[in-house]
């Protein structure tokens, strides 16, 4: 039989060890995953697929917490300020990481410095589409018409990321359009289908059910959208700098221990490699693009740079 | 013939034991969350979506849809019993429904709301089968100018047709519009009236104001009335509507259903506008409009049938065009897409079992809701017999919990208290809270559509009169004011004499 004090000492020592190198047995309690938007929307749905993967792989519940407010700023600020212990993760996406800091003074975070990138999850290609009644079929025809109308062509968007693509289009093509903002793309569709608004910038998957009533002219993504393989990209059409995509990934507050980053990135990429997961994302119009934490970090920097150029060229001041 | 055949297929799908089971889960859950203030169908559906991945798509959409329309049954319960509108579409139900409860006719009000909702739900379902293509076209034809004028009319109707003077009503509505404008500018994203507060950037949630102005203010007010001793609110009369009640409600239910079915298809505005329109339409054509606001059963019947009919026909644009009218509908659409179904013009042809199964399940679900709700009414009404000293703290706790769960921030609770105090002062000054609340809901919508119409027309305001729909709504608004002003003045003079 072991002397009792020895047993106690061993227990105490192991308890101490658990406390000290907690990264080794991370996670030992539930993890909250902040989504900086309210319930609803494809990105929020997709984040639930991601947390399901973490839960399965790491054996602790990863719980989605919707923290909506101020276009995603409130939840993102909370994510930046949380303790970097791996028990608070944040959904990073195009709107909160590459658009908001440029448009709103209230977005006090620096996407490149205040967060630890964990991994990119998926990208979402956008298209610029015209109402079927508009007599243009190619990008050149569209640009010619816009020049002829001198700013009277209208374009609808349902999010600030789509608007960014619209602003970039005007900058690159040297044209002027009138912007008609909507709270969500679905609310813009009746006006575009009926021809009251001439153009729309939207995700490729939103455009697919309405083909015939709206006509995609060009994709804003680096590669053609899987859902619309016949629609050429701006890149192909002679605009090498024109790449705007929706995207989302997983991030954490700055200073997350590297072991935890590795654990999370491995679990994430393993989950994303599964056929059924890819299929669920495909169906919702997302193209799965796993990455290493370093790749994701430089991706964020590059996105921010693109956004900054557009916003400066359009003369938009942060509000 | 074709429609009948399709419907038969639908009932075959919907009445499989598995789908009946999911339908029951959906509607029960919907009723429950409808009763709790704050917790809405949107959040519930979002949380349940990951669970639906392994399920057949028909079953999952049947369950999620059940949550959606089940919530409107539960919503009326809270509105009638404790004056708590959990959804914008049940604000007008409070007006007469809660008065009925205070007169001891809460059971009758609940029964009529359930029966009206059932009739409206059934007719709404039938309308989807028959008129989906026609109504679908109607949605596309509505321009931002038409929306702006329709919302303007609803606002004017609310402001002028409630109790008190027209000026008072319009003033309260404008005050509501002002509160509604707090937050980000919908066109430019600039912050307005936020005083640098991040919490105010997203605007003031309608639920926060509604709970403050209706529930909290009501509680303070009741404490103020020294005569009405706690526990003796009103004798609870019969739970079942009398023959006279049924007779009085019959036509309002049908008219409410018609209005609800028509406006329900419009994205963004559906159930709210239709319940307001149905309520004030009833009031306008009533032989004795003065009963409204004092427990007129027609008001409850019309408003509740309208919002339920609208909830059903709201599926038309979502399912047939892939254009969801509300965030909840967008969520349902997302759930379908993640399950590999693409809603849109081709869905009915490609997945008939899913579309018709859903339609049939809505009818079955409405029947389940009626069966679930009628026997429960006796239980709900007992809540009214609970002495105030127990009931009021409980209402406050549940309201606060529900509210906190919306955005997880304490700021909303302070706002609720602030609006509670404000609501009490307004009640003391005999200012109507209903136009105020409706102003908060409709103000931002009006601004959004008005400005959008102006941007699209490149700044030419004539769009509001060149579109005949818009012109019609504007003319109706003017008529409402002209018709109501002299009548109210006469009544006021008669009272003074």
Are B328 and B42 in contact by the 8 Å Cβ rule? The answer is yes
Distance from C-alpha of B288 to C-alpha of B282, rounded to nearest angstrom: 11
* Nearest CB partner across the interface for A68, out of B140, B144, B202: B202
List the 268-297 stretch of A: residues with Cβ below 8 A of B: 279-280, 283-285
Q: What is the CA B5 to chain-centroid distance, rounded?
A: 33
Nearest Cα neighbor of B86 from B268, B208, B220, B217 is B208
* Nearest CB partner across the interface for A196, out of B143, B339, B345: B143
Is some CB atom of chain B closer than 8 A to the CB atom of A232?
no
E strand or H helix at A126, and its extent? strand A115-131
Give per-residue burial for B161-175: e unless 16+ CB within 10 Å, then b.
bbebbbebbbbbbbb
Is some CB atom of chain B closer than 8 A to the CB atom of A69?
yes
* Nearest CB partner across the interface for B337, out of A38, A191, A283: A283
What architecture does CATH give domain A125-219? 3-Layer(aba) Sandwich (3.40)
- In chain A, where are the structural domains located? 30-124+245-313, 125-219
Give chain B positions within 8 Å (CB) of A184.
Answer: 327, 330
Which residues have CB under 8 Å from B125's CB, separation 6+?
A: B312, B359, B362, B363, B366
B341 pLDDT above the threshold of 90:
no
Nearest Cα neighbor of B366 from B130, B128, B115, B32 is B115
Query: Tell me, which fold does domain A30-124+245-313 have in CATH?
Result: D-Maltodextrin-Binding Protein; domain 2 (3.40.190)
Distance from C-alpha of B335 to C-alpha of B356, rounded to nearest angstrom: 18
Q: What is the CA B430 to chain-centroid distance, rounded?
A: 25
Alpha-carbon Rg of chain A, whole angstroms?
23
Residue B224 token pair: 């103020």
Give per-residue burial for B362-399: e unless 16+ CB within 10 Å, then b.
bbbbbebbbebbbeebeebbeebeeebeebbeebbebb
CB atoms within 10 A of CB A143: 17
* Cβ–Cβ below 8 Å for A38 and B140: no
Residue B31 token pair: 């009723």
pTM: 0.79
Are B456 and A196 in contact by the 8 Å Cβ rule? The answer is yes
Distance from C-alpha of A183 to C-alpha of A187, rounded to nearest angstrom: 7
Domain count, chain B: 1
Distance from C-alpha of A27 to C-alpha of A84, rounded to nearest angstrom: 13
| pLDDT one digit per residue (tens) for chain A, 319 residues | 444 454 444 444 444 444 444 566 888 888 999 988 766 566 677 788 899 889 989 988 888 887 777 778 888 988 998 999 999 999 998 888 988 888 887 788 999 899 999 999 999 899 999 999 999 999 999 999 999 998 899 999 988 888 889 988 998 999 999 999 887 787 888 899 999 999 999 988 888 888 889 999 999 998 899 889 999 999 999 998 888 888 999 999 999 999 999 999 999 999 999 988 888 888 778 889 999 999 999 999 988 888 888 888 777 777 7
Instruction: Tell me the β-bridge partners of A201.
Output: A128
Which residues have CB under 8 Å from A9's CB, separation 6+?
A: none
Is some CB atom of chain B closer than 8 A to the CB atom of A236?
no
At B279-315, the pLDDT tens digits run 988 888 888 878 888 888 999 999 999 988 888 888 8
Residue B491 token pair: 């009544």
* Cβ–Cβ below 8 Å for B191 and A181: no
Residue B95: which domain range?
2-496
Distance from C-alpha of B37 to C-alpha of B399, rounded to nearest angstrom: 6
Q: From the candidates B141, B186, B202, which should be mutated to test the interface with A, based on the most A CB atoms within 10 A? A: B202
Is some CB atom of chain B closer than 8 A to the CB atom of A195?
no
Residue tagged 């101020």 (tokens)? A70
Are A256 and A83 in contact by the 8 Å Cβ rule? The answer is no
Residue A233: DSSP 8-state: B
Give chain A positions within 8 Å (CB) of B198.
Answer: 69-70, 73-74, 77, 106
Residue of A nearest to B343 (CA): A209
First to last CA, chain A: 72
């Amino acid at each position: 039989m072991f002397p009792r004090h020895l047993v106690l000492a061993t227990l105490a020592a192991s308890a101490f060890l658990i406390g000290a190198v907690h990264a080794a047995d991370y996670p030992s309690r539930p993890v909250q995953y902040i989504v900086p938007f309210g319930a609803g929307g494809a990105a929020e749905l997709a984040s639930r697929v991601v947390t399901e993967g973490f839960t399965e792989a790491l054996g602790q519940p990863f719980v989605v917490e919707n923290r909506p407010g101020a276009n995603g700023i409130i939840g993102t600020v909370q994510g930046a300020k949380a303790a970097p212990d791996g028990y608070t993760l944040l959904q990073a996406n195009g709107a909160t990481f590459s658009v908001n800091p440029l448009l709103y003074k209230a977005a006090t975070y620096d996407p490149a410095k205040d967060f630890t990138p964990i991994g990119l999850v998926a990208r979402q290609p956008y298209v610029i589409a015209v109402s079927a009644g508009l007599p243009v079929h190619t990008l050149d025809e569209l640009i010619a018409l816009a020049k002829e109308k001198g700013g009277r062509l209208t374009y609808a968007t349902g999010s600030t990321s789509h608007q960014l693509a619209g602003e970039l289009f005007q900058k690159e093509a040297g044209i002027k359009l009138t912007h008609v903002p909507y709270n969500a793309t679905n609310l813009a569709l009746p006006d575009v289908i009926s021809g009251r608004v001439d153009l729309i910038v939207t995700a490729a998957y939103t455009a697919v059910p309405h083909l015939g009533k709206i006509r995609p002219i060009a994709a804003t993504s680096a590669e053609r959208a899987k859902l619309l393989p016949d629609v050429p990209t701006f890149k192909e059409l002679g605009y090498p700098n024109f790449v705007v995509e929706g995207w989302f990934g997983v991030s954490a507050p700055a200073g997350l221990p590297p072991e935890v980053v590795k654990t999370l990135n491995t679990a994430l990429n393993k989950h994303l490699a599964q056929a059924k997961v890819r299929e669920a994302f495909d169906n919702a119009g997302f193209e799965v693009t796993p990455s290493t934490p370093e790749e994701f970090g430089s991706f964020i920097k590059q996105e921010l740079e693109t956004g900054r150029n557009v916003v400066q060229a359009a003369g938009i001041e942060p509000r | 013939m074709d429609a009948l055949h399709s419907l038969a297929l639908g009932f075959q799908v919907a009445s499989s034991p598995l789908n009946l089971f999911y339908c029951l889960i959906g509607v029960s859950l919907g009723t429950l969350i409808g009763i709790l203030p704050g917790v809405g169908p949107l959040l519930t559906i979002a949380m349940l979506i990951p669970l639906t991945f392994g399920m057949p798509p028909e079953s999952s959409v049947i369950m999620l849809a059940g949550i959606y329309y089940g919530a409107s049954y539960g919503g009326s319960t809270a509105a009638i019993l404790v004056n708590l509108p959990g959804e914008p579409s049940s604000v007008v139900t409070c007006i007469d429904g809660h008065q009925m409860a205070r007169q001891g006719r809460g059971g009758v009000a609940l029964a009529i709301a359930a029966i009206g909702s059932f009739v409206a739900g059934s007719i709404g379902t039938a309308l989807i089968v028959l008129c989906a293509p026609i109504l679908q076209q109607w949605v596309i034809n509505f321009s931002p100018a038409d929306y702006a004028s329709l919302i303007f009319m609803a606002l004017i109707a609310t402001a002028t047709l409630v109790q008190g003077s027209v000026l008072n009503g319009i003033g309260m509505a404008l005050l509501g519009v002002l509160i509604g404008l707090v937050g980000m500018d919908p066109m430019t994203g600039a912050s307005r009236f936020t005083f640098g507060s991040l919490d105010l950037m997203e605007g003031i949630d309608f639920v926060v104001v509604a709970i403050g102005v209706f529930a909290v203010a009501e509680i303070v007010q009741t404490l103020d009335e020294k005569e009405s001793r706690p526990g003796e609110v009103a004798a609870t009369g019969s739970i079942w509507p009398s023959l006279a009640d049924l007779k009085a409600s019959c036509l309002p239910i049908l008219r409410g259903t018609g209005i609800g079915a028509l406006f329900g298809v419009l994205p963004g505005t559906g159930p709210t506008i239709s319940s307001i329109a149905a309520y004030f339409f009833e009031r306008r054509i009533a032989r004795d409009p003065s009963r409204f606001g004092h427990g007129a059963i027609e008001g409850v019947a019309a408003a509740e049938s309208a919002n339920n009919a609208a909830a059903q026909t709201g599926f038309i644009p979502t399912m047939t065009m892939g254009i969801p009218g509300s965030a909840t509908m967008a969520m349902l659409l997302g759930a379908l897409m993640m399950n590999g179904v693409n809603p849109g013009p081709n869905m009915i042809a490609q997945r008939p079992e899913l579309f018709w199964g859903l339609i049939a399940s809505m009818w079955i679900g409405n029947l389940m809701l009626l069966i679930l709700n009628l026997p429960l009414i006796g239980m709900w009404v007992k809540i009214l017999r609970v002495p105030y000293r127990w009931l009021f703290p409980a209402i406050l706790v549940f309201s606060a919990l529900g509210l906190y769960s919306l955005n997880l921030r304490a700021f909303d609770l302070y706002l609720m208290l602030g609006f509670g105090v404000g609501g009490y002062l307004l009640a003391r000054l005999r200012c109507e809270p209903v136009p105020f609340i409706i102003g908060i809901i409709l103000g931002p919508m009006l601004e959004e559509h008005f400005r959008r119409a102006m941007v699209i027309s490149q700044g030419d305001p004539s769009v509001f009169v060149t579109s005949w729909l818009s012109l019609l709504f504007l003319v109706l608004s003017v008529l409402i004011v002209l018709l109501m002003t002299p009548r109210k003045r006469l009544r006021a003079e008669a009272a003074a004499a």
